[in-house]
Chains A and B, each alone.
Chain A
Amino acid sequence: GQNIDQPTEMTATEGAIVQINCTYQTSGFNGLFWYQQHAGEAPTFLSYNVLDGLEEKGRFSSFLSRSKGYSYLLLKELQMKDSASYLCAVLNDYKLSFGAGTTVTVRA
């Protein structure tokens, strides 16, 4: 089976940094994705990790440790528009399994 855990909620201040952790236990692994989803809208792709290490993309970075079954998404210089749900997803055997999502609220 697939087990993907991430915190339910996080709150941070505009301009700050927030780190969203994701741990996974899956029967196989072909890559890990992070998506952003605003309420009622489609998930939008943020990052993809298949090898261990850090991938940086502007204000967003994602890290993967396959041996630990662990990833994090780092959001820097938070903006109000970053208030959204962030979904961790593991690709295994053609199937993408999603965590329940972390709702990030950015306060002024």
Chain B
Amino acid sequence: DSGVTQTPKHLITATGQRVTLRCSPRSGDLSVYWYQQSLDQGLQFLIQYYNGEERAKGNILERFSAQQFPDLHSELNLSSLELGDSALYFCASSGTSEDTQYFGPGTRLTVL
């Protein structure tokens, strides 16, 4: 158990819908990262927040957005969902941007 929690574990929804994925970092960690892992793409970095502020952006679509709240938990919002958005979404946390990232169990999103 990494200490990073994610909810929900599974999510099934329809195209065009909007969903919110939630992540709580390890106690004391200020950095939160979001990754997408699909079968054909591997693990892709989406976005990083550090202590409430966006720190780095990867291959994140405009339909996706994220935020980190004062209590350091983070949410990833996915809107206008497409079939290709079906993937495992992982959250990771670390103390600083150079520290080891520890991954949560992931949310499996299925878009039908």
Binding site for B on A (CB under 8 A): 30-31, 33, 35, 40-45, 48, 87, 89, 91, 93-101
Interface of A: prevailing SS: strand
* In contact, A97 and B45 (Cβ under 8 angstroms): yes
Which residues of chain B come closer than 8 Å to A98, judged between CB atoms? 42-45
* In contact, A43 and B98 (Cβ under 8 angstroms): no
* In contact, A94 and B56 (Cβ under 8 angstroms): yes
Binding site for A on B (CB under 8 A): 2, 33, 42-45, 48, 55-56, 58, 88, 90, 97-98, 100-106, 108
Q: How far is the CB of A99 from chain B (nearest CB, A)?
A: 7
Say yes or no: A95-B58 contact (C-beta < 8 A), given A42-B104, A43-B43, A43-B103. Answer: yes
**Total A-B contacts with CB atoms under 8 angstroms apart:** 48
Which residues of chain B come closer than 8 Å to A35, judged between CB atoms? 103
* In contact, A96 and B101 (Cβ under 8 angstroms): yes
Interface of B: prevailing SS: strand
* In contact, A43 and B90 (Cβ under 8 angstroms): yes
Q: How far is the CB of A31 from chain B (nearest CB, A)?
A: 7
Q: How far is the CB of A94 from chain B (nearest CB, A)?
A: 4
Cα of A31 to Cα of B100 in the assembled complex, Å:
10
Say yes or no: A30-B42 contact (C-beta < 8 A), given A42-B103, A42-B104. Answer: no
* In contact, A96 and B33 (Cβ under 8 angstroms): yes
Cα of A21 to Cα of B108 in the assembled complex, Å:
30
Q: How far is the CB of A33 from chain B (nearest CB, A)?
A: 7
Q: How far is the CB of A42 from chain B (nearest CB, A)?
A: 4
Which residues of chain A come closer than 8 Å to B105, judged between CB atoms? 41-42
The residue on B at minimum CB distance from A100 is B42
